[in-house]
Amino acid sequence: MTSSSVTAHESPGRGRLGSRLSERTFLVFLLLPGFVLLCAIVLYPLLRSLVSAFFDENLLYPGMEFVGLENLSAVLADDFGRLVWQTLIFTVGATIAPFLIGLALALVLNQRFPGQRILRGAFLIPWLIPGVVVSFLWMWIFDANYGVLNGILMSLGAIDSPVAWLFQTDTARGALIIAKTWNTFPWVMVMLLAALQTVPGELHEAASMDGAGVVRRFFAVTWPHIRGVAALVVLLEFIWNFQHFDTIFVLTGGGPAGTTSTFATEVYDTAFRGYDLGHAGALGIVWMALLTVLVVVYVWLSERGEKEGSR
């Protein structure tokens, strides 16, 4: 009697234990493919490039020779300031422009008017197009010989002859920022529009009854509620633009004369056009270190926003 009662009491526990073990095994099987892909596609190439930074390794001949910190020293001494400056020009421009456009559109689309939903969907189209396709589209627009922009400006009498937009430093940088802005402003708009819909309407009504105008209501009521989301959006855009590659590679290839090259294009050119894997790996280490600082700031802002939201 006693043994049977013990068995009866233990069997459910054993069943639950077996169930827990099977669930854990099932979770392992679910996680395993993703983990293998992460190791194969991300971790191994990353570690391999970091190791290359400490060796003299070239694609033209086999073998590796340990050189210590020579590659890192060469990177920091070889126009490093110019590369950082050019990367920041593109990053800042391609972050501020879509944020301002996205914020303006979010404020408009947050109002009720006929065709509001249609416009919301239409403005998402640039975001849905792949970045390479967008780059080729804008390369056709800015082309010096048969570009749409030159054709429009010449028909309006604004210019007398075609302008090589992508072969002049200032206009090439502007073209890159315009192309990237057109591709990413819908994402900013969606994020800010979601934040705007959390602003209580009663606050706007109270501020309006107190005589506050549109601009004053924005800074006194709207902006304090969306400030946290806006900061995270700007920081995420900054991080993505700091490592952006396809638009620059397709439109200018880093030209003219390397004046639009960034860390992303410089690493590619050094590794696969200059065949110097060691120097490219050293560039990657410096690039990753700068990105790590930005990621730390992003995590800090995210945790700060969660703490403020929980109060």
Tokens found for residue 141: 């627009």
Mean pLDDT of 35-61: 87
pLDDT tens digits for range 117-154: 888 888 999 998 998 999 999 999 999 888 899 999 99
**Under a CB-based contact definition with an 8 Å cutoff, are residues 50 and 281 in contact?**
yes
Collapse the DSSP code of 163 into the 3-class scheme (helix H, G, I; strand E, B; otherwise coil) and give the result.
coil
Banded pLDDT at 177 (limits 50, 70, 90): very high
- DSSP assignment string, 93-157: HHHHHHHHHHHHHHHHHTS--TTHHHHHHHTTHHHHS-HHHHHHHHHHHH-TTT-HHHHHHHHHT
pLDDT at 209: 77
Q: Beta strand 55-58 with 61-66: parallel, antiparallel or unpaired?
A: antiparallel
| Residue 224, burial from CB neighbour count under 10 angstroms (0-12, 13-18, 19+) | exposed
Residue 150 or residue 23, greater confidence: 150
- Mean residue pLDDT across the chain: 85
Banded pLDDT at 180 (limits 50, 70, 90): very high
Q: Where are the beta strands (DSSP E) in the chain?
A: 55-58, 61-66
pLDDT at 96: 95
pLDDT at 85: 93
Residue 101 or residue 309, greater confidence: 101
pLDDT tens digits for range 96-120: 999 999 999 999 998 888 888 888 8
Collapse the DSSP code of 58 into the 3-class scheme (helix H, G, I; strand E, B; otherwise coil) and give the result.
strand
Mean pLDDT of 19-42: 82
| Cβ neighbours for 251, distance < 8 A, ≥ 6 positions apart | 135, 138, 139, 142, 166, 172, 175, 176, 179
* Residue keyed to tokens 């800042």: 92
User: pLDDT over 90 for what percent of the chain?
Assistant: 32
pLDDT at 21: 58
pLDDT at 157: 87
**Under a CB-based contact definition with an 8 Å cutoff, are residues 94 and 179 in contact?**
no
If you ran DSSP here, which 8-state letter would residue 252 be given?
A: T
Q: How many other CB atoms are there within 10 angstroms of residue 293's CB atom?
A: 9
